[in-house]
Amino acid sequence: MRFPIYRPRRLRQNAALRALVRETEWSVSDLVMPLFVREGSRLRKPISSMPGQCQLSVDELVKEAGRTAKLGVPAVILFGIPDKKDEKASGAYAANGIVSKAVRALKKEFPELVVICDVCLCEYMSHGHCGVVRKSGRDFRIDNDATLGLLAKSALAYAEAGADIVAPSDMMDGRVAAIRAALDETGFPDTPIMSYAAKFASAYYGPFREAAESPPQFGDRRTYQMDYANAEEALREVALDIEEGADIVMVKPAFGYQDLIWRVKEKFRYPVACYNVSGEYAMVKAAAQNGWLDEKQVVLEMLTGFRRSGADIILTYWAQQAGRWLNE
């Protein structure tokens, strides 16, 4: 039998050969660790649907960030859980709000750590939505324009506390422009914006809503988060955010959206982030705990897939574990 001259299997015969021709590489320096912070002290409250993850008081957050940094992970992103919520999300932009306190503590202890602040209102609103709600009987709508000012105030509060990057995740129209203007006008023109540019209304967010204590009390978020069937719309959303001043654009979730990570990177050539979200984390954890798959091998494969798709930055709850695995 005549074989072709080129036989790809020649370069797969051992680990050294496979490593030599490997096309996609990623490192711990590409990762961002999400952390949840709340009021209190010496508090580590486990999140039942996200094994290994906790809500942390500021003192415990600093310890966790230290462990993260020692593993070579260069950045964390913060999500705050306030003691009190209202219909103006005042805890999001209060001068001594939980996230601002956390930022100051982290930058004091780890000045080189990149601290990213998620900018959204759902954790701070009594109704759990990402914007100002206008109700009429049983009907409600999100007041887009009224929400923009609160988002800008929140981003500014985080920048004043020392945040390195602000990351609006609310999906209101015009939020990047509003935040960019607020930062520029108040002395923070160099603070980058990482926009959740293509954020979809996804069932994969379920565990996060437990972690952030932010499920909507009525309705859902489909009027402002994207329909997961739409790809061309996602590209339009990304284009708008870049035009308004975004420095990094994100696709969220990651696992079922790698086609969009690729398309965003190919079309815009901007720094692209993806968020390996809570539901993706919980599914793998549950399967691993049942002995149905090898967690380490699956996670390394997933992260490589995100990188191969074009992601420059990967937000993942496995950031610490991945750092340990890579150092083994």
So which residues are the catalytic ones?
199, 252
The pair of structure tokens assigned to 58 is: 């500021």
Query: Bridge-partner residues for 199, per DSSP?
Result: 252
The pair of structure tokens assigned to 232 is: 């061309």
C-alpha dihedral (249, 255, 258, 260), degrees to nearest 10: -50
Q: Give the separation between CA 211 and CA 49, rounded to whole angstroms.
A: 8
**CA angle centred on 210, ends 206 and 149, rounded to 5°:** 90
Helix axes 144-161, 98-109, angle to 10 degrees: 30
Asked if residues 126 and 190 have their Cβ atoms less than 8 Å apart, the reply is no
Q: Give the separation between CA 43 and CA 183, rounded to whole angstroms.
A: 33
The pair of structure tokens assigned to 163 is: 């945040």
What residue has token string 């993806």? 274
Q: Is 124 helix (H, G, I), strand (E, B) or coil?
A: coil
Q: Is 43 helix (H, G, I), strand (E, B) or coil?
A: coil
